[in-house]
């Protein structure tokens, strides 16, 4: 079923719900009750963010499939932290993430390009002043 869909799918793939069902859109909450249907289907996809050390920012590590958040957390630990690489893990349903589009990179980010006065190098300070 998935394969035939692929052949027809010439447009950007529809947003999947977390059960991986084609065509159902809109639901952002993990519909754990739809993940299985008894068939051997694919579990929802979760993005994994890991905090490597005390005080460090969480960083994207990769993704895991799991039937629910708790399972995703456990899978993320087993896949991305087998050697103490993490002191904290976040898992987020992949479909809940909104990302900027690469083709809009220019217009989306250019408001920052002409504001060089946001950098300290823009400003002049009197010569001879040490240790500003």
Partner 1 sequence: MMARVAPSLRGKNTRMAMTEQTTEDPKRMAEFEARIARGESIEPKDWMPERYRSQLIRMMSQHAHSEIVGMLPEGNWITRAPSLRRKMTLLAKVQDEAGHGLYIYCGTETLGVDRTELVDQLLSGKAKYSSIFNYPTLTWADMGVIGWFVDGAAIVNQTVLAKASYGPYARAMIRICKEENFHKKQGYEIIATLASGTPKQKAMAQDAVNRWWWPSLMMLGPSDANSPNTAELIRWKVKRKTNDELRQRFADITVPQAQAVGLTLPDPDLKYNEASGHWEHGAIDWDEFWAVVKGNGPCNRERLAARRAAHDEGKWVRDAATAHAEKQARRKRSAAA
Report the interface residues with partner 1, using CB under 8 A.
2-3, 6-7, 9-13, 15-16, 20, 30-33, 35-36, 38, 40-43, 45, 47, 62-68, 70-71, 78-79, 82-83, 94-95, 97-104, 107-108
DSSP state of 47: E
Q: Rounded to whole angstroms, how far apart are CA atoms 49 and 55?
A: 15
Instruction: Specify the residue, 3 or 130, whose C-beta has the smaller distance to partner 1.
Output: 3
Instruction: Specify the residue, 19 or 126, whose C-beta has the smaller distance to partner 1.
Output: 19
Would you say 97 and 63 are in contact if contact means Cβ atoms under 8 Å apart? Answer: no
Nearest of 92, 106, 115 to residue 28 by alpha carbon: 92
Instruction: Specify the residue, 10 or 125, whose C-beta has the smaller distance to partner 1.
Output: 10
- Least Å distance, CB 39 to partner 1, is 10
Q: Which residues contact 125 (CB under 8 A, 6 or more apart)?
A: 132
- Least Å distance, CB 121 to partner 1, is 26
């Amino acid at each position: 079923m998935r394969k035939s869909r692929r052949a027809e799918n010439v447009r950007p793939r529809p947003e999947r719900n977390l059960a991986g069902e084609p065509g159902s859109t809109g639901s952002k909450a993990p519909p754990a009750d739809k993940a299985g249907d008894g068939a051997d289907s694919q579990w929802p996809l979760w993005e994994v963010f890991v905090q490597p050390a005390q005080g460090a920012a969480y960083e994207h590590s990769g993704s895991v499939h799991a039937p629910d958040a708790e399972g995703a957390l456990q899978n993320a630990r087993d896949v991305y932290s087998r050697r103490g690489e993490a002191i904290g893990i976040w898992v987020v349903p992949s479909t809940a993430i909104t990302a900027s589009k690469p083709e809009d990179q220019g217009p989306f980010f250019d408001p920052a390009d002409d504001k060089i006065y946001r950098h300290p190098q823009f400003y002049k300070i009197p010569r001879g002043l040490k240790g500003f």
